[in-house]
Amino acid sequence: MFARDTPLFPAMDPGLRAKIFSTMCSALERLRTEYDVVIVEGAGNPTDVGEGDLTNRELAQRFDIATVLITKLSAGGGIASLVGTYQLLPEHARKRVVGYVLNDLLDGTSFAEGLASQASARLGIACLGVLPNLWAIRPWRTREEELDGLADLVESHIDVDALGFGARRKYAS
């Protein structure tokens, strides 16, 4: 039905695409009635949107969801990617960006602080935290250990209060 390199949603029947997006919206609305905070995770770059692509950026726009940009430091070029992504976002999407996170730091806290300072000066938004490389800390044995470890890292390394969630809440992701 689709070639290996065919973007899935642009090649899809528009009626089916609309039904999928409607289902996503209904699911998000249901989760928002059950939880104080719902995290909508995106993958890839939010500026890489082809005509007709279905992205979490559409959900963010429809529901006015605060957005956090996350960049991976270990592969190199993370700050350039972060700055470029932010600058390429449409103005309405940039207004929802509340900060960014530097992810996958292999070592060097002072190095990360310097990167964060440079990025914040260029972007005019705050660094919400720096997450170390998970495997450098501990080689997780199970998926549950990895998820628990990630939750602990987020709690100890990210300024969650800057997101406006207030006191500890029920989270869904």
Tell me the pLDDT tens digit for each residue of 112-152.
778 888 889 999 999 998 888 776 777 778 888 888 877 78
Long-range contacts for 72-75 (Cβ within 8 Å, ≥24 apart)? 72/103, 72/104, 73/102, 73/103, 73/104, 73/105, 73/106, 73/112, 73/115, 74/104, 74/105, 74/106, 74/133, 75/104
Please check the confidence at residue 26 and state whether its pLDDT lies above 90. yes
Share of the chain above pLDDT 90, in %: 12
Please check the confidence at residue 166 and state whether its pLDDT lies above 70. no
- Rounded CA gap, 55 and 22, in Å? 13
The listed range with the strongest mean pLDDT (21-35, 39-53, 92-106) is 21-35
Please check the confidence at residue 83 and state whether its pLDDT lies above 80. yes
In this prediction, residue 123 carries a pLDDT of 92
Supply the mean pLDDT for the chain: 78
- Rounded CA gap, 93 and 61, in Å? 7
